[in-house]
């Protein structure tokens, strides 16, 4: 029996509710396949600011660094904070930066049973299978200066978009390597007609692509990509882009799947553990304070993030596939949280959705080894 150590950070709002369902699913998989997942929980975000005075304490960061992988919920309050000082978002930004998790994988697939729950005509969604590789530790999120200050002409605000060649190189290389396991097509998304960072991005992407003669590289401007994602989403294979463009495009892309509550993510760097690549796994959605505690949140993005954790960080691809199959079977039977409900489906709570996935796992797998 192999022991794995997971740091579990539920965070704020719906974060703890959805993470709880993901942990239950992991424990069921562990029991079924003979693994133990030892989980250690810690506070992050507003919850940690309230209790510990900081969004991400040194102890929590150390706990994460020593784990095999991190399961993360969501952080953030009801309104974006306009003043300086500790922000709940510092927790996730601090983890990404401190742990050098520069590549954020956001796969987008369409479950056939959910096509009716989307805003799209069915034929448009046929064959959609893409993954966005979002650069996660550079760009506007981390460039300094970043502040609001008083100037002679009045109050001004400044953010800085900064990329080094090396930062662009490693994430583009990551995307090209990933494309080799897929349809060998990479779309690099930028705003090279306006931004210096994007012009460097394009140059470096071209250079890196020469190492991958078997991978086709295309460039697309971000505004045009936002449109193409709706018009011909099936044309995309791997999209690689800078931090903020990736943030925006993936919320958009979640509509192809049917809901923001469906998209998982894996944040990876170069560090490996005894089991695989070290990483942080989180749904792409936020803390949704408006529905926190109501049992309405969709836990599937968190559960699918746990599947990515098994695949990428623990080297357990069969177990990951078992979770994904259980999720697909659950929605195929019409079990839905409100965000993906249709007139004929059965609307259930967050916890009942977790139960439904657990039941499919119990049904579908062979007896324990």
| Residue 354 binds ligand IPM, judged by CB under 6 A | no
Q: Which does 319 bind (CB under 5 to 8 A by kind): ligand IPM, Mn ion, none?
A: none
Compare residues 89 and 247 and give the one whose CB is closer to Mn ion. 247
Residue 178 near ligand IPM by CB under 6 A: no
- Does 284 sit near ligand IPM (CB under 6 A)? yes
Q: What Cα–Cα distance (Å) separates residue 84 from each residue in 23, 157, 162, 277, 294? A: 34, 12, 22, 35, 31
Query: For residue 248, how many other CB atoms are within 10 A of its CB?
Result: 13
Contacted by 92, from ligand IPM, Mn ion, none: CB < 5 to 8 Å by type: ligand IPM
Give CA torsion, residues 317, 270, 285, 351, to 10 deg: 40
Contact partners, residue 352, CB within 8 Å, separation at least 6: 335
Tell me how far apart the 2 most distant CA atoms of the chain are, in Å: 73
- Token pair for residue 157? 């605000």
Does position 138 bind ligand IPM by CB under 6 A? no
Give the nearest distance from C-beta 286 to ligand IPM in angstroms.
6
Catalytic site residue 185? no
Of positions 26, 49, 55, 92, contacts ligand IPM by CB under 6 A: 92
Query: Taking CB under 6 A as the rule, does residue 319 contact ligand IPM?
Result: no
247 is catalytic: yes
DSSP helix/strand/coil, 71: strand
247 binds ligand IPM (CB under 6 A): yes
308 binds, among ligand IPM, Mn ion, none (CB under 5 to 8 A by kind): none
- Would strands 129-135 and 238-241 be described as parallel, antiparallel, or unpaired? parallel
* The two three-digit tokens of residue 291, written as one number: 């529905």
CB of 135 to ligand IPM, least distance (A): 11
Strand extents, DSSP E, 78-123? 103-109
Told to judge if 251 belongs to the known catalytic residues of this protein, a careful annotator would answer yes
> From the CB of 251, what's the least distance to Mn ion, in Å?
6
Position 76 contacts ligand IPM (CB under 6 A): yes
Cβ pair 38, 1 in contact under 8 A: no
Residue that is written with structure tokens 């090396």 in the block: 166
| Among 277, 361, 309, 249, residue whose Cα is nearest residue 100 | 277
Q: Is the dihedral of CA 137, 140, 144, 150 positive or negative?
A: negative
Residues in contact with ligand IPM, counted by CB under 6 A, come to a total of 6
- Least CB distance to Mn ion at residue 288 (A): 12
Question: Which residues are near Mn ion by CB under 5 A?
Answer: 247
Angle, helix 317-332 to helix 350-364, in steps of 10 degrees: 120
Query: How far is Cα 19 from Cα 44, in angstroms, rounded to an integer?
Result: 13
- Residue number of the CB atom closest to Mn ion: 247
DSSP state of 127: T
Residue 89 interacting partner from ligand IPM, Mn ion, none (CB closer than 5 to 8 Å by kind): ligand IPM
Closest contact distance (angstroms) between CB of 50 and ligand IPM is 18
Task: Catalytic residue, from 33, 141, 163, 281: name it.
Answer: 141
Q: Is 116 a catalytic residue?
A: no
On whether the CB atoms of residues 70 and 37 are closer than 8 A, the answer is no
As measured in angstroms, the least distance from the Cβ of 37 to ligand IPM is 23
Binding to ligand IPM (CB under 6 A): which residues in 141-160? none
Active site residue 191: yes
Q: How far is the CB of 284 from ligand IPM (least distance, A)?
A: 5
Nearer to ligand IPM, 267 or 330 (CB): 267
Instruction: Give 345's contacts (C-beta < 8 A, 6+ positions apart).
Output: 334, 335, 336
Closer residue to ligand IPM in complex, CB, 64/316: 64
Please give the distance of CA 354 from its chain centroid, rounded to a whole number.
Answer: 19
Catalytic residues, which ones?
A: 141, 191, 223, 247, 251
**Residues of the shown chain interacting with ligand IPM in the complex, contacts defined by CB under 6 A:** 76, 89, 92, 247, 284, 286
């Amino acid at each position: 029996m192999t022991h794995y150590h997971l740091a579990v950070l539920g965070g704020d709002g719906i974060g703890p509710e959805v993470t709880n369902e993901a942990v239950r699913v992991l424990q069921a998989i562990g029991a079924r396949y003979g693994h133990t997942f030892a989980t250690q929980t810690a506070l992050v975000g507003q919850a940690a600011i309230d209790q510990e005075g900081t969004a991400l304490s040194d102890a929590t960061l150390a706990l994460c660094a020593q784990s095999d992988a991190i399961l993360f919920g969501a952080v953030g309050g009801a309104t974006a904070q306009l003043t300086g000082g500790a922000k709940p978002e510092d927790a996730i930004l601090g983890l990404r930066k401190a742990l050098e998790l520069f590549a954020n994988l956001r796969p987008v697939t369409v479950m056939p049973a959910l096509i009716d729950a989307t805003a799209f005509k069915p034929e448009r969604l046929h064959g959609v299978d893409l993954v966005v590789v979002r650069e996660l530790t550079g760009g506007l999120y981390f460039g300094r200066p970043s502040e609001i200050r008083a100037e002679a002409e009045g109050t001004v605000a400044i953010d800085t978009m900064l990329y080094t060649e090396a930062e662009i190189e490693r994430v583009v290389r990551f995307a090209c390597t990933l494309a080799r396991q897929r349809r060998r097509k990479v779309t690099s998304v930028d705003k090279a007609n306006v931004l210096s960072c994007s012009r460097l991005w394009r140059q470096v992407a071209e250079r890196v692509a020469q190492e991958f003669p078997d991978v086709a590289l295309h460039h697309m401007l971000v505004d045009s990509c936002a449109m193409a994602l709706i018009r011909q989403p099936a044309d995309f294979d791997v999209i690689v882009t800078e931090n903020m463009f990736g943030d925006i495009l993936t919320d958009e892309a979640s509509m192809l799947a049917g809901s923001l509550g469906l998209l998982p993510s894996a944040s990876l760097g170069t560090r490996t553990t005894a089991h695989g690549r070290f990483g942080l796994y989180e749904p792409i959605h936020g803390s949704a304070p408006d529905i926190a505690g109501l049992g309405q949140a969709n836990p599937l993005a968190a559960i699918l993030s746990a599947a990515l954790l098994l695949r990428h960080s623990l080297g357990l691809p069969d177990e990951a596939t078992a979770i994904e199959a259980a999720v697909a079977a659950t929605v195929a039977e019409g079990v839905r949280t409100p965000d993906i409900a249709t007139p004929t489906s059965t609307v259930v709570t967050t916890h009942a959705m977790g139960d439904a996935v657990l039941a499919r796992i119990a049904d579908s797998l062979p007896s324990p080894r």
